[in-house]
Amino acid sequence: MTENIGVSYGTLTLLGLNHARALVQPTTAHFLIGENCIYSCRFCAQAKCSKSSPNMLSRVTWPRKDWSDIASPLAKAIAAGTVKRACLQVVESPGATAQAIALIKKIRAISRSFPVSVCVVPTSVSRLELFFEAGASRLGLPVDVASSRIYAQIKDRGFAETWEILRKASEKWPGRISTHFIVGVGESEEDIVECISMANALGITVALFAFTPVKGTPMQDMPAPPVASYRRAQLAGYCLLMGGSLDWIEFENGRIAKIKVPDKDLLNDIRRGIPFQTSGCSDCNRPYYNERPGQVPMNYPRPLSDSEARKCLLESQLDIG
């Protein structure tokens, strides 16, 4: 049941299973379960409508490996503390749920306390319970598109129905649910902020991704979001995460025009660049998930230098204070 697992290229490097040298080591081991999804999310390489390689998700390649190739290197990395979390990306395909559950149990046989996240389409609360019963630490239930206006045409699913599953899951397993939003698929910055606020109110951990056009998908010709827009979303999201109010944020025609931060400690964190680091589950830095090495990092996989933090603030085109 745990043969033919997709393993991200960065994870192979982290586990010493290839000869690549990483500029920044990932802190989470990422695995891809299943392929050829039954849904038609227009941005996704695994979608039913996609002509992309089956070994792709976002811009990342996921070579297939057997558990026998992975088990010992993963156990050693867990014991050494070089890998701090495992994340299973579950493609909605026949047998994927059972395969993911089997893999969770195998990881649990290595360590009872090691954090294991599972990212899965929010279809029903009863199915989510299966992952927790198998030993998952937390579940990621992606909303992806932060706009009811365009959700169905991009996701092939319902916006309200998705949020209802998130609401029920967050009530049943408080503090153990995550979600993420993709910036730049046609939503406004105000849409993103409203969805982050909704997730925060439910106690759901939020991660942001920048839209990455993938060859072979229906959205392959759509550009990535402007860096300025992504920086503003990061700043607003961080302020809300740290207890800030929607009243701090002003909009003009759907764009974040101003963020007033009355908290001096929070302002100092912003000036250190903390909002621009990878968001979401703890100990997950996802280096180069949104961009190639050498390009401007949308999510920094490490603490920023003073000059990088200043650059990000300038990129936001906002006067924070």
Give residue-wise pLDDT tens across range 125-152.
999 999 999 999 999 999 999 999 999 9
Confidence of residue 56 (pLDDT cuts 50, 70, 90): low
Q: Which of 113, 156, 161 is nearest to 141 (CA)?
A: 161
Name the token pair of 253: 């025609």
Confidence of residue 24 (pLDDT cuts 50, 70, 90): confident
Mean pLDDT, residues 305-315 taken together: 98
Mean pLDDT, residues 51-55 taken together: 75
Q: Is the pLDDT of residue 198 over 90?
A: yes
- φ and ψ at 116, to 5 degrees? -125, 115
* pLDDT confidence of residue 296: 85
* pLDDT confidence of residue 107: 98
Q: Which helix (H) or strand (E) holds 72?
A: helix 67-80
* pLDDT confidence of residue 1: 47
Task: Report the CATH number of the 5-316 domain.
Answer: 3.20.20.70
- Percentage of the chain modeled with pLDDT above 90: 83
Q: Is the pLDDT of residue 13 over 70?
A: yes
Q: What are the CA-CA distances from residue 123 to residues 92, 180, 266 (Å)? A: 10, 16, 37
Q: Is the pLDDT of residue 265 over 70?
A: yes
Collapsing DSSP to helix, strand or coil, 87 comes out as: strand
- Predicted TM-score of the model (pTM): 0.95
- φ and ψ at 168, to 5 degrees? -65, -40
